[in-house]
Amino acid sequence: MEELRFSRHDLIDPEARVALEQLLAAVPGGIAGIPDVVQRRAVFEALIDSLPAPANPGVSKQNRTIPGPSGDPNLPVRVYRPAGADGTGPGIVFIHGGAMSFGSLETEDAVATMLCDQLGAVVVSVGFRQAPENPYPAPFDDCYAGLVWTAANTAELGFAPGRLAIVGGSSGANLTIAVAMRARDSQGPSIRFIMPFSPMIDDTNTTASSHEITDIGAFDRSHNIECWAWYLGGRPADQYAAPARASDLAGLPPAFIDVGTVDVFRDEAVGFAQRLMAAGVPTELHVHPGAYHGAETFAPESALGRRIWGLRIDAVRRALA
């Protein structure tokens, strides 16, 4: 009997596949395939800048500099405020993605703006040091400092102290979980909800999806291995570096996790969500058929992209009501 063969590309949502093919035509091998990290950052910035971003005149933006971790440099943040903010609405600490090594306040400006606009939330997007120049724990420490500053300045920022969430995707999802764990472990700021989407949380690269997703071109196994090596900088991973290693998940805030079926992080995301549920953490999990890593970014107007962001916005709205 002839063996049936298929390409994982055949599993990608058709609309999202068009966007991926356009990306790979412009950047053969994908963003993460660019070997020089400085060039990778520049190309990613230019690519994101080329994507359409709707105007949101009701959102005001302010670039700030806040204290970094003790003994470390100050941090850039961008504060987004909705029109009519009166101090009773929700607040969000937003942590951008980029495999711990690229991405910036600029590359996810459209996402932070959307969260502010659609949720009526004050959003603080945190800039942080990146690997390989600044490996773990620098990005983690910076993001925790961003949370502490945000929680300490609710009155000035204009949101209700009891309505604070952390949202981040990919490596930003890693940092979202890690920062929430540190807040739990150190009796830090109170967090009502976390949304780590498409999370990069397992440095071992041993899951089935890690071995399956090798040639999609969005973000694959080889890219993940490289970026983990940069982030860890030769030191062993602990639970704050790789949250999949955490032995105790009890007491974390309610969570929303989602991931695509054609995402290298599929199985670590699903496994972590299952462990949260087993630990008694209220958890909502969505697995999106046909979605590769970042599909909703590169194909935001596709039915898939709209569905993904619709579910996310709805989940944050419900959690912070």
Strand partners for 60: 81
**Alpha-carbon span 59 to 206, nearest angstrom:** 42
**Alpha-carbon span 144 to 9, nearest angstrom:** 38
**Alpha-carbon span 205 to 87, nearest angstrom:** 43
Ranges of beta strands (E only) in 83-212 are 91-95, 122-126, 164-169, 193-197
Given 223, 263, 267, 288, the catalytic residue: 263
Q: Is 263 a catalytic residue?
A: yes
What single-letter amino acid sits at 210?
A: S
Q: Tokens 């080889």 label which residue?
A: 222
Given a contact cutoff of 8 angstroms between Cβ atoms, the answer to whether 212 and 232 are in contact is no
What are the φ/ψ torsions at residue 34 (nearest 5 degrees)?
-75, 120
Q: Is 170 a catalytic residue?
A: yes
Question: The tokens of 137 are what?
Answer: 């724990």
What single-letter amino acid sits at 296?
A: E
Question: The tokens of 266 are what?
Answer: 């599929």
Exposed, middle or buried by CB within 10 Å (0-12, 13-18, 19+), for 307? Answer: middle
**Alpha-carbon span 4 to 177, nearest angstrom:** 40
Question: The tokens of 118 are what?
Answer: 């659609």
Given 125, 170, 209, 302, the catalytic residue: 170
Q: Is 293 a catalytic residue?
A: yes
Q: How far is CA 151 from CA 121, 254, 256, in A?
A: 14, 18, 21
**Alpha-carbon span 30 to 61, nearest angstrom:** 31
Catalytic machinery residues: 170, 263, 293
